[in-house]
Chain A
Amino acid sequence: MKRYALILALVLALAAGFGCSKKTATADPNADQGMDPALQAAVQQITDGRVLFAFDKFDIQPEYKEVLKTKAELMKQYPSIRVRIEGNCDERGTQEYNLALGERRARAAYEYMVTLGVNPSQLEMISFGKENPVVQGSGESVWSQNRRDDFRVIAQ
């Protein structure tokens, strides 16, 4: 009986551990390091809003221009923030062409944010093509989520 109790305790401890690590991964890793809450909120806002694209397109739709404007304002307000824009594609295209298309998507956001006054030194880009889907599966509802720019804060 003692043994079962010990195993149960271990399982609970592990589960609690996983729960914690998940929380810190999705929220701000610096939350407990006394970071300025406003900066923390800015980082969250920059990271959260994705920009989505139509199939085989890389032009920014009007609704996502608003998303980028918000990000740009925050980055101007906090010049210490540096962001990597990650261009992605859905699974339908071929890999090499999708790497190029992903680059065009990342660049489209980059150029728009620079025209809005963001210092280019605050931005970098990479394309993952179709190698890094955010949603697994097939069908337009999945594909539309994967044709995207992600915004990763790499310095704050």
Chain B
Amino acid sequence: MKRTFLLSVLGLCLLAAGSVHAAMRVDIYGPGQNSVNLALAAPLTGPEKEAGNMGAELQKLINENLSFLPFMRLTDPKAVLGGTVLQGYEPPNLDFKRFQLAGSDIVVTTYWPNGDRGTSPVQIRAFETNTGGRLFGKEYPRVSSKELPEVADRFCADLLEVLTGSGAFFRSTLAFVKKTGRMSSNVWLCKPTGRNLRQITRISGEALSPAWSIDGRFIVFTHIDPKSHSLGVWDRKKGSVQRVRFPGNVVIGPSFTPDNKVAVALSNGKYPVIYLLNHAFQKERVLEGGHSINVSPTFDKTGTKMAFTSSRLGGPQIFLKDLNSGATTRVSMNGGYNTEANLSPDGTLVTYSRMTEYGHRIFVQDMVTGAERQISFGPGSDEQPSFCGDSYFIAFTSSRGGSRGIYLTTRHGGDAKKVPTGGGDASFPRWGMPEGE
């Protein structure tokens, strides 16, 4: 009866929504437990020798990173009897008992074999406290203070991958737009934790709806100046931006397909319809049209399913199209104004915003069970939801803080965490995984 439940917290969370890749390896020991308790042992340069330089800084960064995971509870070091400075960084010199007593499921140790100054390797390990089993262990070679944020992100991605099967959250970079005035905004990037914040376009006019290419090289966006709409294309490799205009002067909500083509709403001379463009940004074919507004396409990772917004039934509603069969099904069944569809990469969930009497709210529709769940509750207006590559985290725009900012939640909802993006209204978050970020 020692192990009453051999179900993991994350496993429960992810399996509840139908995920099959949740290979959780951490055991929990009580019914009703819905989070993982993780303790960070003090970083060491030797037995009971606490690292105070880069070690302390890395510890702080990892702590900040893990605080973004809503299912992770970080153990207060003061709650660990005997303290977190250990004899050793792995068994048998690692005293698991003190972490068990503090209620920790996992303990993370950090060891700097050559000291934590200059450029040194660092070894990070994670253990299950109840069994002493090692969940993860890796050496990050040649770490200097400049690389500490990257090492923190890489470790957290590795740990998350061990726990859930996907480390996409910490490997991602958010693209978003920041407003600087009336009809004036540009595209910015940052990590989901707010780090590595930088502006990538500097064009007069308004940038909207940025979207990453799957390979992380390009970002496309809508650009509006006083005379025209255009498709903005930022090339990470060249560091340049080009603008492409189309007949009809309409460019709305571009998105990349998995084979790196762009789908975007353009005018067919009558209505905005969704076109697939070829690699030279020329119209290839219509993906969805008709005598109604059709905008905001997004795709699953196979490129066979497309979620979009259409006014074919009067007010805007969310639809899902099977691009192999051509069959279209209605997704949003409640409310008269549902827009901004975003399909999870695994194709099982569609998130969108619904206009309510209190402002817009974010909903998730499970395409397997047909169940709809409200995942944001304001205050203010919550809009523009976007799935992370793990189909678990969702970024969205909210005015709950007075001005518009970017927030993170999960497909189950819960407390939303604000992404620090500096001054100015931030909106239109979109996840991407550029290599070498």
Contacts and interface: CB of A to CB of B under 8 A. Distances in A.
Interface stretch (A12-20, A68-76, A124-132): A124-132
Given A96-B295, A104-B271, A127 B316 contact: no
Interface stretch (B78-86, B91-99, B138-146, B220-228): B220-228
Interface stretch (A28-36, A37-45, A87-95): A87-95
B423 to A, nearest CB: 20
A99 to B, nearest CB: 5
A93 B224 contact: no
B249 A100 contact: no
Interface string A84-110: 100000001111110111011001000
A94 B340 contact: yes
Contacts of A94: 339-340, 353, 355, 360, 383-384
B271 A97 contact: no
A106 to B, nearest CB: 9
Interface in A114-140: 124-128, 131-132
Contacts of B353: 94
Nearest to A124: B249
A131 B249 contact: no
Interface residues of B, number: 37
Q: Which of A92, A95, A125, A132 has the most CB of B within 10 A?
A: A95
Given A96-B208, A96-B340, A56 B183 contact: no
Contact of A126 (B229, B311, B340): B229
B250 to A, nearest CB: 5
A140 B117 CA distance: 63
A103 B339 contact: no
A127 B229 CA distance: 8
Given A103-B250, A131-B183, A132-B182, A96 B267 contact: no
Contact of B227 (A56, A93, A96, A126): A126
B339 A97 contact: yes
Contacts of B153: none
Contacts of A101: 293
B252 A93 contact: no
Given A101-B293, A126-B249, A92 B227 contact: no
A93 B355 contact: yes
A100 B295 contact: yes
A107 B293 CA distance: 13
B272 A93 contact: no
Interface in B261-317: 265, 267, 270-272, 293, 295-296, 309, 311, 315-316
B182 A100 contact: no
Nearest to A132: B183
Contacts of A126: 224, 226-229, 249
Nearest to A92: B355
Contact of A99 (B222, B227, B337): B222
Contacts of B271: 104
A137 to B, nearest CB: 15
B183 A97 contact: no
A127 B270 CA distance: 14
B250 A127 contact: yes
Given A101-B293, A103-B267, A103-B272, A96 B253 contact: yes
Given A92-B355, A128-B224, A100 B183 contact: no
A127 B183 CA distance: 12
A131 B224 contact: yes
B249 A97 contact: no
8 contacts: A95-B208, A96-B339, A99-B253, A100-B293, A103-B272, A126-B226, A126-B249, A131-B183
Given A56-B337, A96-B339, 14 more contacts: A84-B227, A92-B355, A96-B265, A96-B309, A96-B340, A97-B295, A97-B316, A99-B208, A100-B311, A103-B267, A104-B271, A104-B272, A126-B227, A128-B183
Nearest first, the 3 closest Cβ-Cβ pairs linking A and B are A96-B253, A100-B272, A100-B293
